Structure 1
């Protein structure tokens, strides 16, 4: 048995140093003939990318990006689906010491432009079908300061580049040496939805690799001979940190399914590719339960993990009966990665306690503070879930990009405690029990949706005077988006108007975030200071 505390120290000694190079750590140090990524299309035909090919292709792309002026510290965004092209692009960005800004492909132009502008992005690399979202219009300036490159065979617009075009003839260029940026430098800028303001940029430093490796090892227990599949989208924390970064870091092959979610397709992938270690949002397991009677006999998964939203006890029981192995719940945030869970590795595995989120992972110390004061709450009492910063060597978050107010709100005044924004309780053995979110974020199918973003889109309709957005329980998705709408005088509520508002959110924010339930009300419940009381919106549904 290895000592997890010593292993954490060893990882920090490797990743939190002035000589740390992300490209070296995630690619160049691994055997060139080992498979890094297996991309699987809708027809279930695999395409392998070895670490040697990843090094060669990312080096060529990095050289081409350097000719466009991209250098250390610059921000390069991706608007891409899963697969080998994303892995190559991300490694090229990190090879230059630049910062990767992942964007969700379901975002509308307004949401994309907001993040590109806030991040000072200099280059956007996108799939062909995403390119129209970058056309000049109401949300995207005609003189946008970023270059555009597509993954397709030919440029779609004047002035565009393609990855193939950029790298063609790259053999004559000087291959850039991997830039050592050090443990404190950011290598990812990930945006998380805000609830009372615009999205917040989480700057992920290189030293966070130690935290990602710890979850990969102890939370997921990915072994060298595993076939590992993380179904989450790499534009979000779980899919980025543990679907792209951590398997590359550990030198493990990962599957990348380049297709929409379908339960039958999911079962086919599990069977055909012999998946032994599966990580997915609870929605995936809930949908499989609703549509699956028996598993194909070829499926032999040894580890099941879930994160992104609370996991129902009935789904845990179904998974154990169906797969024959426990489904372990894990808990984390974009700002930290996963730091609590029912861990899978034999060195740290503890009893499963259904209804609990598990215990702190190695390298983390978690407690519950009193509701108002910053002292620790009694055992079993509800309060604010917090991380002990000084007692957590894997703690890496220091604040949001250009947002000191939101950054300060995450910590107690003395800096000892990081406040997750969630409430819960903890028993004597350290098991954490989730109660509710303090910040009103909506967790739907593993995606975090900020009410502010949806409200901003709704208010652009001329008939809407006020909008209050909140989450309602849903059997498959965990939560869905709902909205209470106050109309301007003279406007009339109708089913047609409700559909117009849904389409507006799809067009002005994101395809997945439209309100499934819309209720027209006379007024919104507010506090004395004018803030919406989201907890009181629900009774208005009647």
Structure 2
């Protein structure tokens, strides 16, 4: 396992990690797998019936060598993109390590995505191979949203391989271990992951090997991982936090981790925490709020550290967590383009008071600030402005721009190149604690998933009954935010419950099952600027006022 010596300071540790992951001859497979003791447990893969499959680093090395050879036999070379449309499983871990052992680039696909969202990411990344679960295989069949004669090969886990396909186990069985790991250097790409905004298609973020220094630093200093921990990050690895820290956070440190194959259930979560002896737990606030709202009761838990990321943590969660979990939940902030960077740190050398509503202080290796909304000058203490990072003083920063998107990339940096602009608004107090206020770009964060309104609107507007539409976030007690849509029907299509249900189904089938609008409001027109841009903030304010009126009427 790779952890700092007891007498190492946080700043010294950052220097060590930068040297380690920035070495000219750095090898991803060595850092993430081969250097760990072969008999140490990498993951306990837990099924819904609580059966456990313990998976060692020795197992991972041998199986990923076979899978790297299988990819090479498919014509994959270093730098090529390989996508995964997979749930959490041992096969998923083998696939990732095989991709990185070969020197290829992982493209994560969330399993709730509909074919159109999958196709967009596959074509955008120019993926050569897709590895998918049998239950996801149908999404890759030619159809209205999936091109015929697609250039990617398909490897299927379980079930029939289908046309243009190979079975996962067959691919492994046909190869021998011993595939030599690629040594490509710190700037070689490791991941191409897609993030969403409000004014365009999803943007590709290429994560280089040297970004692992930042991910490792977060695992040690903010999550507070120790060699004797049993760690469980419950986030889905189809998204940045679950991939960066549910997988890479474990692989960089070598800490023994848990992977649950089943979907979320509060009672099951408590059982896994107890049975596996989890001491360090991380999840989106939605998970904690769902546990809070359930009738399930915790057993004998051993949690030492609990962390939250993906959306702001509300105070009532900690009021519950101290009694139910035995510890408070520490809020952490980050982005797909940075990893985590402002946190309430678990490392005792960095730990301070946990202030309600605050996302903490900058992690060592990152320098954060709040600039005025309309000028690149520091905002006053307590003044809401733009949350930014000083790239001249942030050696852990690694994002240089979106793949083939120069204009969108330029928006993420100030004109002089000094500041990385998060697109979030916040404030900082006299003690250096940051508090999140809102997002500038209207991105919706639902249950920890970042959803771009433009993507949902693009799906809705092709419905034959929709003339135009806008999508906003509305507060929700469990998910943090949910999606609601404002729709102007085409002539001859009136508002109705049937049309609302059809639009919800439309989004589920054409974008993602989790991202449908929970409510559809029908309108004659949408508020717009003189140039014709929809003013989502006006709709948000109208909805906020309506909800306040409804609450007041219910209380009367």
TM (normalized to structure 1)? 0.98
Aligned to 1:140: 146
Q: CA deviation at 1:472?
A: 0.2
Q: Distance in 2 between matches of 1:407 and 1:499?
A: 38
Aligned to 1:96: 102
Segments ≥4 residues shifted beyond 3 Å: 538-542
Aligned to 1:285: 288
Q: CA deviation at 1:72?
A: 0.5
Aligned to 2:358: 356
Q: CA deviation at 1:439?
A: 0.7
CA distance 1:540–1:372, change in 2 (3 Å): closer
Aligned to 1:270: 273
1:194–1:452 contact (8 Å) kept in structure 2: yes
Q: CA deviation at 1:274?
A: 1.1
Q: How does 1:239-254 map to 2 (within 5 A)?
A: 239-254=242-257
Q: Distance in 1 between matches of 2:424 and 2:241?
A: 18
CA distance 1:386–1:497, change in 2 (3 Å): same
1:18–1:180 contact (8 Å) kept in structure 2: no
Aligned to 2:225: 222
Number of aligned positions between the proteins: 538
Q: Distance in 2 between matches of 1:430 and 1:529?
A: 40
Q: How does 1:145-156 map to 2 (within 5 A)?
A: 145-155=151-161
CA distance 1:293–1:141, change in 2 (3 Å): closer
Q: CA deviation at 1:227?
A: 1.1
Q: Distance in 1 between matches of 2:540 and 2:350?
A: 41
Q: CA deviation at 1:99?
A: 0.2
Residue by residue over 1:163-219, the C-alpha shift from the partner in whole angstroms, topping out at 9 and shown as x without a partner, is 111122312x8x431111111111000111221111111100111000000110011
Residue by residue over 1:321-340, the C-alpha shift from the partner in whole angstroms, topping out at 9 and shown as x without a partner, is 32221210000000001100
Gaps of 5+ in 2: 1-6, 547-556
Aligned to 2:440: 438
2:270–2:297 contact (8 Å) kept in structure 1: no
1:153–1:164 contact (8 Å) kept in structure 2: no
Aligned to 2:386: 384
Aligned to 1:35: 41
2:197–2:442 contact (8 Å) kept in structure 1: no
Aligned to 2:3: none
Q: Distance in 2 between matches of 1:366 and 1:383?
A: 12
Is 1:492 paired with 2:494?
yes
Q: Distance in 2 between matches of 1:295 and 1:61?
A: 40
Is 1:129 paired with 2:131?
no
Is 1:196 paired with 2:221?
no
Is 1:160 paired with 2:162?
no
Q: How does 1:78-477 map to 2 (within 5 A)?
A: 78-155=84-161, 157-171=162-176, 175-292=178-295, 294-296=297-299, 298-477=300-479
TM (normalized to structure 2)? 0.95
Residue by residue over 1:465-494, the C-alpha shift from the partner in whole angstroms, topping out at 9 and shown as x without a partner, is 001001000000000000000011111111
Over aligned residue pairs, what C-alpha RMSD do you find? Answer: 1.1
Q: Secondary structure at the match of 1:124?
A: strand
Aligned to 2:551: none
Question: 1:20 is matched with which residue: 22, 26, 30?
Answer: 26
Q: Distance in 1 between matches of 2:518 and 2:203?
A: 25
Q: Distance in 1 between matches of 2:407 and 2:93?
A: 34
Residue by residue over 1:269-321, the C-alpha shift from the partner in whole angstroms, topping out at 9 and shown as x without a partner, is 1111111110000011111111147421x112110100000000111222123
Larger deviation, residues 476-485 vs 79-88:
79-88
